[in-house]
Structure 1
Amino acid sequence: MTVHVAIAADDAIFRYSGNLLRSILAHASQPVKFHVFVDFEYERAEKVLNAAIPDADIEFYYLDASVFKDLPNRTHLSPMTYARLIMPERIEADRFLYFDTDMIAQADIAELVDIDLQDNLMAAVFNGGGLNSGLLLFDRESWIAEGLTEKSLKYAQEHRPDFGDQAAIEAAVGDRFLILEEDWNLVLDPVWTGKERLAEKRTSRAKVIHYCTGFKPWNLGRLAMPRHLQALWDSHGKPLKLPMNFRYEFKMAGWAIYMYARNFITGR
């Protein structure tokens, strides 16, 4: 059985995507095929990724992200966050897993693809009372049969929620989610996450680590992270050999500095 995994990235975040892919392969018991959605001309990026992970089975898809430009989004996020909503219409696999690129797998993900969805349309982790769309199990036939791409995009356009894609998916799918254990998407943030959650004793048990919000292990945010979380990311390699997007890097650095200052002032 081949496990199908999808990611989406713009030219700013793509250079950091290799670590996720390597971590998935490091624990894989079954063949894995990666479906990589990008919004830029990807010939060079494809060569670099294939050279960095030569044994990986990777298929690229070009997606014009301008189709999402009028949809709501948070300032530190890319319009490509909406790409996951159209993936079932492009990927020819009965089931596939979507991953955000700021994640690291610590377990074999094949068991998740085989899970019994019962009468549900998809599976995901809920935290803080709502869906976290960083990891999603799609059942392609169900998604298309229910018209969920159209429903979710329509919801985002009409209601303009703060957490655009997450709220849109949650509204479209309704209560037909299979809720996964938190270990499949352990969300971490050095400012808002409690010390117990960041501790190695807790993170080592997680099947997937999610370096959520603007604090990433490749930017200034790593300085606020425990060393074991820095080391975990670094253990899966360096950024791909592609040009750095300085506009993105400066924006994220500014965001991190703002959050540090806010944390200091509020005492959180």
Structure 2
Amino acid sequence: MKQDKIYLVVATDNFYAILLAALLKSIEENHHTPEHIELYIIDDGVSPANKQRIEAQSDRSKTTLHWFKSNEVVPADVKMPLDSSSFPLTSYMRLFSPYMMPPEAEKLIYLDVDMIAQEDISKLWQVSLDGHIFAAVRDIAEIVSCPWGGVPNWKELGMDPDTGYFNAGLMIMDTKRWKEERIGEQVIQIIHDNIKHVNLVDQYGLNIVLANRWLELDRRWNVFAVKNVPDPFIIHYLDIKPIFKSYNSTPAYQEIFYKYLRLTAWKNHKPVSDYRRLARKAYNKTKKKILSFFKR
């Protein structure tokens, strides 16, 4: 009898290849059911050396890795938005992850690379979408009218202020409906149309296009590291990542991250100075400004 497969998608650049290594190891260490994991990696410039490191650590009895260059994922006719944030353009890649899937994949799980799994991913895979186009966890901002998060121009868009607001770092997607309704293209367009209001890149657009069309998951599937939840299924290091000395979220969650990182080629890594983090943010903003200039 053919074993079922679990389809996962992550996106990373070379800077965060270290996070992918820890995430992959945490998924494999906690996966104990027969399904084989098909991990699709959107590669936004991962070096050959880091790619080889990640391949070497992978448990091939549990996981098969599929690498896709970022320019292979986004449809040729899609013009990527150039917002003013420091988030990398890699953030938009998840919108087109269903296009990477083989025909037999009816759904996929998208995970941000800055996560660690503490529960068997098969339990998330078995969640029924119950007719919804996707499932996610409510964000810290809770609702679209949240003054420090949410959708800044919710009123102008005619949205109910109490509309639930989800975090796009973890999503279970219905791949067929996502492609049929061209959700990725819709989100990109809404961002272009409202570029001055865009705060959290594609999460902004997703919460407009798919308002009230999502299944809310148990919050333990996307626990934000700034909180301290006793039994997190997946930890999400939303703010300063645990690889930095300035990490300021729950200390126990940093220890959990390093528990898995020590099982990888980065096992001797110690938290580094904030210089690299700040330099990366500056690089991302500068890259967008340069691209914006040449597209005028």
Measured in 2, the distance between the counterparts of 1:100 and 1:116 equals: 21
* Stretch moving more, 134-143 or 86-95: 86-95
1:207 Cα offset (Å): 0.7
Superposed, which structure 2 residues align to 1:82-231 within 5 Å? 82-92=92-102, 93-127=105-139, 128=141, 129=143, 130-160=165-195, 161-189=198-226, 197-198=227-228, 202=229, 204-213=230-239, 215-222=240-247, 224-231=248-255
Measured in 1, the distance between the counterparts of 2:101 and 2:48 equals: 20
The alignment partner of 1:221 has SS state of coil
Measured in 2, the distance between the counterparts of 1:107 and 1:23 equals: 9
Alpha carbons of 1:57 and 1:230: their partners in 2 closer, same or farther (altered >3 Å)? same
Q: Does the Cα contact within 8 Å between 1:68 and 1:79 map onto a contact in 2? A: no
* Structure 2 residues not aligned, in runs of 5+: 144-164, 267-271, 283-296
Q: TM-score, normalised by structure 1?
A: 0.80
Q: Does the Cα contact within 8 Å between 1:71 and 1:156 map onto a contact in 2? A: no
Measured in 1, the distance between the counterparts of 2:84 and 2:27 equals: 28
The alignment partner of 1:17 has SS state of helix
1:20 Cα offset (Å): 0.6
1:188 Cα offset (Å): 2.1
Look up the match of 1:40: 45
Q: TM-score, normalised by structure 2?
A: 0.73
Q: Does the Cα contact within 8 Å between 2:12 and 2:46 map onto a contact in 1? A: no
Matched residue type, 1:231: E
Measured in 1, the distance between the counterparts of 2:17 and 2:42 equals: 10
The alignment partner of 2:8 has SS state of strand
Measured in 2, the distance between the counterparts of 1:146 and 1:68 equals: 18
**Aligned structure 1 segments of 4 or more residues deviating by more than 4 angstroms:** 65-69, 238-241
Q: Does the Cα contact within 8 Å between 2:81 and 2:191 map onto a contact in 1? A: no
Matched residue type, 1:11: N
Q: Does the Cα contact within 8 Å between 1:122 and 1:138 map onto a contact in 2? A: yes
Measured in 1, the distance between the counterparts of 2:45 and 2:113 equals: 16
Alpha carbons of 1:220 and 1:170: their partners in 2 closer, same or farther (altered >3 Å)? same
Measured in 2, the distance between the counterparts of 1:69 and 1:120 equals: 27
The alignment partner of 1:218 has SS state of coil
Measured in 2, the distance between the counterparts of 1:110 and 1:70 equals: 34
Measured in 1, the distance between the counterparts of 2:47 and 2:174 equals: 27
1:220 Cα offset (Å): 2.1
Matched residue type, 1:72: D
* Cα RMSD for the two superposed structures: 2.6
1:32 Cα offset (Å): 1.1
Q: Does the Cα contact within 8 Å between 2:235 and 2:253 map onto a contact in 1? A: no
